[in-house]
Amino acid sequence: MMALSIGQSREIIFGEVLMAHVRDELIDPKTLYIDQLGLDAIGRMGGHGYARTRDYFDLPTRSLQAWTDAPGGGSGFGLRPNKALPSYTNPVGAVE
d(CA 34, CA 22): 8
pLDDT (tens, 9 = 90+) of the chain, 96 residues, equals 888 888 887 888 899 989 989 999 999 999 999 998 898 888 888 789 998 877 777 888 888 888 888 877 666 555 555 455 555 454 455 454
d(CA 10, CA 6): 5
> Three-state SS for 17?
coil
Q: How many helices (H) and strands (E) does the chain have?
A: 2, 4
Element (H, E) at 51: strand 49-52
